[in-house]
Amino acid sequence: MAEKNASKVSARAPSKPTAACTILTTPQRKGRTTMEMQVLWHTAMRKAVVLGTAGAMALGGMVAMAGTAEAATTLGAAATQQGRYFGTAVANNRLSETDYVNTLNTEFNSVTPENEMKWDALEPSRGSFNFANADKIVNHAKARNMQVRGHTLVWHSQLPGWVGSLSADELRKAMTTHITEVMTHWKGQIAAWDVVNEAYQDGSSGARRSSPFQDKLGAGYIEEAFKIARSVDPAAKLCYNDYNTDGVNAKSTAVYNMVKDFKSRGVPIDCVGFQGHFNSNSPVTADFQQNLERFAALGVDIQLTELDIEGSGSEQAANYEKVVKGCLAVSRCTGITVWGVTDKYSWRSSGTPLLFDGSYQKKPAYTAVLNVLNGGTTTPPTTPPTTPPTTPPTTPPTTPPPGGSGSCTATFKTDSSWSGGYNGTVTVKAGSSAITRWTVPLTMASGTSITSLWNATHTTSGSTVTVKNSNWNGSLAAGASTTFSFTVNGGNTAPTVGTCSTS
């Protein structure tokens, strides 16, 4: 995969540059993806530039003039110069929007379907597959020589209801069939697959997450999934993907130990995906690069798979800069995918976490990323942002503080939805007086359930979910607000938000 960020090549080259042709010989092409070939070709052509040559070569947004490679003007072209890709998550239903498609086609050279390759979208009923929506994304990418990441084969969320009702033997058969049918359909077209997604719990336990696969098949289901995947498409990179593993913590260490075990026993695993969903409650950690390095040392590639960083202005730009620099500093960090093209369609749009705003205008964060990919830097904020603890606790304090005397309100917003589920955010706002803790009851629609919830703790009793503040976001000044978000499976009907209380 990609080499370390190399220094500038000499302005002078041999009088008969041969790199461009030798790098493309048949033995060296064997087994390489289209994107890898593009990266190698661009690298060879840069090395073949001769000082004094008249004219220019246009290389996908990069211009080479008389032996001097100018800065690339798009994210994909700049990443290619670094031997990486720069991708985005794509929604099929946005491919009819001109600004969306123009930005996608101009800036990115890798795509990940947002929801179209998840189990509920591809196999809504057992044995009945629907590839149409995902095919549109894959075909769009192929027509423009973009690589495609497959997301995702085995995941506890966005499962059709029939999966959870199977016996252990039937579930194993269904998992084998699903992986086989899906990977066979796109064999040779997908650069990397997220074979298993989010199999570990948050918090300090390092335990596996409860799911139909874990509960019925046991911990070995992950190994089984990777072995099945390798047998179907030996050329595709096989990845494990998760969130809140970006720094060194109990969860990332549990994943690290699994990967180390797999490598030691010859279980096929090629890459680890770090989602990179950052905000003030989950900031970019000081040991981000160190964490990537320890995984790379195991002999796997590293990919930033769902990057989005809430915020705005120079603070957001500085955080994006830190993440991209961390990737470029690790030779096996092969690419970056941001989770969406524009803020207006982000799954957490209220946090404006992407590189293009709702009008497709480039934000300071875009400039920061492009500058880093081109080998430059950006100016950090004058006053570094204040951040909460690196690993926020997942349980409230042993002795909770007394409730504030003020009141609070809670309002719900759907961030994104798909067939059979949605992501939502609840904003909790203090009234005219400060509060020190809050509780929000949610009544879930029939057939729906919360599969993941963050920035709060919750308990479930029937259709009622009681959500309470975590110990870092309970205290709110008068008029101040905080949010918690969650993923729901089973339908698109929003929950009923009950009365926010401070007792």
Q: Which residues are catalytic?
A: 198, 306
Burial 409-422 (b: 16+ CB within 10 A, else e): ebeeeebbbbbbbb
| Cis? peptide before 399, omega within 30° of 0 | no
Look at the alpha carbons of 162, 165, 171, 173 in this order and tell me if their dihedral is positive or negative. negative
The 10 Å CB-count burial string (b at 16+, else e) for 119-133 is bbbbbeeeeeeebeb
Is residue 301 a contact partner of residue 237, using CB atoms and an 8 Å limit? yes
Radius of gyration of the chain from Cα atoms?
Answer: 23
Neighbours of 155 (CB within 10 A): 21
Q: In angstroms, how far is the first alpha carbon of the chain from the final one? A: 55
User: Alpha carbon of 376 to those of 103, 256, 392: distances in Å?
Assistant: 23, 32, 33
- How far is Cα 74 from Cα 390, in angstroms, rounded to an integer? 33
What residues have CB less than 8 Å from 399, skipping those under 6 apart? none
In this structure, are residues 318 and 283 in contact, taking their beta carbons and an 8 Å threshold?
Answer: no
